[in-house]
Amino acid sequence: MKNKFSLLLLLAMFALLLTSGYAQNKVVKGTITDASGLPIPGANVIIKGTKTGTSTDFDGKYAINAAPGQVLVFSSTGSKAVEMTVGQNSELNVKLVDEISQLNEIVVVGYGTQKKSDLTGAISSVNAEELMNRPVPNALEALQGKVAGVDITTTERPGTVGAIRIRGQRSLSASSEVLYVVDGVPLLSASGIETLNPRDIETMDILKDASAAAIYGSRGANGVVIITTKQGKAGRFTLNYSGTVTTQDIVDRAPSMSASDFITFRRWAAYNLDPTKYAHPDSPTFANDNDIFDSALDGQTSRDNVLKGWVNGTWDASKVTNTDWTDVVTQTGITTEHVLSASGGSEKVNTYGSIGYLDNTGTQKGQWYKRYTAKLTSNITPVSWFKMTASLNASWSEQDYGMSTLSARSGTAPNAIYGAAKQIYNIAVPYDADGNIIINPGGESGVYTIMDEWNRSTQESQTLRLLGNFSANLDFGKIWKPIEGLTYKINFGPDFRHWREGVYIDGSSALKVNSNGASGVNFARLQNRRDLSWTLDNIISYDRTFANRHKVGVTLLQTASAWDIENSAMSANNIPKPSFLWDAMGSVDPLVASNNARMSSDIEKRQLTSYMARFNYGYDNRYLLTLSGRWDGASMLAEGNHWEFFPSAALAWRLNNESFLKDVSWIENLKLRVGFGSIGNSSVGPYSTLGPISQVFLPFNGMSNQIAFTPNEPYYTNTQSGMPNPNLSWERTKQYNLGIDFSFLNNRISGSIETYQSYTDKLLLNVKILPITGYPFITSNIGKTENQGVELTLNVIPIQTAGGFTWESNLNGAWQKDEIAELANGKQDMVSNSWFIGESIAVRYGYDNLGLWQDTPEDLAEMAIWNANGEKFSPGKVRPKDQNGDYKMTPDDRVVLGNSNPNWTMGWNNNFTYKGFELGVNIYGRMGYTASLGGEALTAHANQRETDYWRPDNTDAEFQKPILGQATSGSQDAYSGLLGFTKASFVKIRNISLGYNLPKDFTGKIGLANMKIYAQAVNPGSIYQSLDWYDFDTNATYFNRSFVMGIDVGF
């Protein structure tokens, strides 16, 4: 019995060993792909802690024997390594993404590249994957919230870009526009950046501090954005398609008052004007409404509409027609985009090409934008020591504003049809009893109908953009070994842009029609602008490492640029046929005064020649030095002042490579940087040193439209309106930067901290001079400003599981402060410009307020003192702040109320991945500044949004009580505008995206390399708004909310 038991036990143990042995010999297989879903051939798969491994085949497939519980390490050059634990599943598919924090990442630094580990300046990079996390119509919007210290404002008009500001403001009057460099070609201005297809962009590198931007000399003061577009790659041919469909709708935070609310509002306004004359709003009467809704004030049709609410002596607001004029002019905007790109070739010849089409119909009727793009880049390397590159970006775009931005009746009219619609009362009706459009609904002066206005006035532009880059590179070291590292590159970049804008305003447009409804005279204008510029660079570089410790880099540059800009314009009234639009200006007789025919043209030329030298030295991968100097010679400056020198220096210390930290395994990178640089602001116009010339009209013979030579006299002459200044030069900024870069725990935590201080002098200011000189002013380099700030970038991978779930988070924030140190007249403030020594460059200056007066004994007593001095205060009115206690509001009571430049900006970008699913959330915000919104007049006239106004039963209101505005009443609240100054801050969710990468097994069966489908919500909501009725991102009360459906396919 004992022997049988022993035999059974032995058999059981043998079976257990067989089972265990079977588990240890499990075959694990799968496919390794890159971020775009393409297979990665030659990727490594290794069992952690062993030398056992394999590589993927041409299709990215692998197979390896491994036991459950063992960890497989998947890796490929330039990608993050991924570790996964073997479980019961025999198939493990892995996606490797670019190692964005690896120290050998290549960064474009201007006229060259460097490893990220060798950088000494403040440079931030955004790669293609980050840019495409949120499909955007232009490259600028893709940067919003991505980079610390970079503040981007958006615009809602299709085809129009917002503004970018890097590290705040330094100039009082000169431009704060950054310099854009596309494939090595500096652009004349940011205009036209919207013509680039964002999907053609490989990387965007932002040079933020002066030590990095100084190599661009007189053009780098406001920062540099270097855009590198996609290039051809050696390898098999790939074809990719990307398509999106976007729907957009306007979200209005401050809709217009409904008809019912406005009627109540008007009743309060009349009662507050004269409570002895007008009925209390809680007890309305027909007679009262018949009086306060005067046909002379509101129009007969509006008055009749209001009086419909009186039925048999009883008020019924539901009987009044409510016309929401914004509904008339809005629509659901539809945007479709299609991009087809291809890449491939050999090591000797490879090419990248793409074509794109964008069709953006705006949320406001008549607004649209279309863009056609094409890109072709070829790299030819016939021998190892010679390489040629030819690249061309072409685009054609068309844009319609929907209605003319020219306001023929009023210089303050809105330049968008939505804003014009919000001006009109909701009690006003669009048509009269005969069905005719009422030109002046509501009867309000300067407020006109918007019915069908998008078909009666138009402003349409077309832009052709050709941006090229042609280069040849010789590597002398591959010809002769002793001079290894010596290269020469010649780079030629032409940039051509033609812009044409046509405006036509029909005689039936509300902007032109006569007061009796009859059509007025039509108007047309045609403008053309042609920009042609080129840049030619000769670059000699030497990069060599000696004795494995001394890394030396030298760059010498000679560059020349030229710009040639031509403008022409013509306009006239009385175009013979509406169908002519602006295309038959010659059909108008310029000698007929009523035609008001005009024409103009001008040309602008400028040239810039520069020399630059840069020296890089690194010792033992621990100590890094960068020195550079640039000499700029510009035609814009006067003789004897053509040349300026812009030096920079930066040091870096890689502490993690020191002996005292080298063995600390959890520190991958710890680098301290310090830098200094001098840069310029090239906002000096091409002829500024000669003094501006103004045209003066001489009305001979009473012919006010005369524009040319006739048998009489020329009727125009020119005069200098400013004194020439041959000593005029660029503004200059000296900036100091201190930064630290870090990476810990196998790159799970990485980022940087920066602090900077800049000093700008030679500010461009127009200084008033004595009339005896014959000139009113002279433009001079006088004045100083200072700017300082702190920036933080933190990249974290909080979660990364063996099951394939990863959470990557990027948090960036910046604080900045600017102030004026000196002005043109020494230490005196310039109050007329709101410029004050020691205050911000852009302050809000005026009277402060203490809220609203209340019906309390204390307030009534104090109001009596004020009113004895001529004021007309009463409960519910705005209470100004008396700074000196004399109970009088005088200029001495004005104070600095705040700064219009945000002190804080932030972005928080989160990406969650699990197997084939991807979820992204992008958050962006600005904090700590003061906005001026103008306040609410509350005179019960046009342009009235829903408002929380003061009433005896609503004393905690945001705004004062309404008072009916009348030309001779003098009783309106004189200080209502003070409530328009408000602290501004917001944090909004910019984008939420959800995507799914289809399994390789499925896509392979249908002949595709990869397929991704995704959905996104753009501007879905806000986390915090300091005002609930205003959108500080767009600087309007409304914004667009979008929903996107997209697909990416690789063939």
Residues 130 and 212 in one domain: yes
Beta carbons of 880 and 889 less than 8 angstroms apart: yes
Beta carbons of 250 and 1040 less than 8 angstroms apart: yes
Residues 33 and 122 in one domain: no
How many other C-beta atoms are found inside a 10 Å radius of the C-beta of residue 697?
A: 11
How many other C-beta atoms are found inside a 10 Å radius of the C-beta of residue 711?
A: 4
789 domain-assigned? no
Q: Which of 199, 233, 267 is the last residue of a domain?
A: 233
The predicted pLDDT at position 9 comes to 42
- 70-105 in b/e form (b: 16+ CB < 10 A) is bebebbbeebbebebebeeeeebbbbbbbbbbbbeb
Residues 142 and 202 in one domain: yes
Residues 111 and 228 in one domain: yes
445 domain-assigned? no
The predicted pLDDT at position 298 comes to 63
Q: How far apart are CA 1026 and CA 865, in angstroms?
A: 35
- 741-775 in b/e form (b: 16+ CB < 10 A) is bbbbeebbbbbbebbbebbbbbbbbeeeeeeeeeb
Beta carbons of 778 and 786 less than 8 angstroms apart: no
Residues 119 and 63 in one domain: no
Q: Which of 233, 254, 282 is the last residue of a domain?
A: 233
The predicted pLDDT at position 137 comes to 74
Q: How far apart are CA 879 and CA 563, in angstroms?
A: 55
CATH of the domain at 90: 2.60.40.1120
Q: Facing residues of 151 across strands?
A: 165
Residues 117 and 227 in one domain: yes
Q: How do beta strands 150-153 and 163-166 pair?
A: antiparallel
The predicted pLDDT at position 86 comes to 84
Residues 114 and 57 in one domain: no
Identify the H or E element spanning 863.
helix 857-868
1023 domain-assigned? yes
70 phi/psi in degrees, rounded to 5: -75, 155
- 335-346 in b/e form (b: 16+ CB < 10 A) is bebebebbbbbe
The predicted pLDDT at position 95 comes to 82
Beta carbons of 751 and 738 less than 8 angstroms apart: no
Q: Which of 233, 250, 274 is the last residue of a domain?
A: 233
Residues 86 and 130 in one domain: no
Name the residue among 417, 463, 393 with its Cα closest to residue 160. 463
544 domain-assigned? no
Residues 90 and 117 in one domain: no
Q: How do beta strands 94-95 and 27-33 pair?
A: parallel
Q: How do beta strands 201-207 and 123-127 pair?
A: antiparallel
354 domain-assigned? no
The predicted pLDDT at position 78 comes to 61
If you ran DSSP here, which 8-state letter would residue 312 be given?
Answer: T
Residues 127 and 44 in one domain: no
Give the CA angle between residues 126, 128, 134 to the nearest 5°.
90
Give the CA angle between residues 253, 257, 263 to the nearest 5°.
165
Residues 41 and 66 in one domain: yes
Q: How far apart are CA 629 and CA 677, in angstroms?
A: 9
How many other C-beta atoms are found inside a 10 Å radius of the C-beta of residue 283?
A: 9
Domain total of the chain: 3
Q: How far apart are CA 89 and CA 95, in angstroms?
A: 17
Beta carbons of 197 and 757 less than 8 angstroms apart: no
Give rounded-to-5 percent helix, strand, coil for the chain. 15, 45, 40
236 phi/psi in degrees, rounded to 5: -70, 155
Beta carbons of 62 and 96 less than 8 angstroms apart: no
276 domain-assigned? no
The predicted pLDDT at position 276 comes to 92
62 domain-assigned? yes
Rounded average pLDDT per 10-residue block, the chain, 1051 residues: 44 40 67 76 83 80 87 79 81 74 63 74 80 73 86 77 84 82 83 80 87 84 88 86 95 92 94 92 93 75 91 93 93 95 91 95 92 95 94 94 60 66 90 86 82 88 94 94 94 95 89 77 93 95 93 95 93 91 89 90 91 94 93 85 90 93 90 92 76 51 36 43 78 92 92 94 80 75 91 94 90 94 78 85 91 96 94 94 93 91 94 92 94 86 88 95 72 85 93 92 87 94 92 88 94 89
Instruction: Read off the amino acid at residue 889.
Output: M
Name the residue among 210, 138, 126 with its Cα closest to residue 167. 210
Residues 199 and 171 in one domain: yes
Can you give the residue range of the structural domain that contains 1025? 917-922+981-1051
379 domain-assigned? no
Q: How do beta strands 179-182 and 224-229 pair?
A: parallel
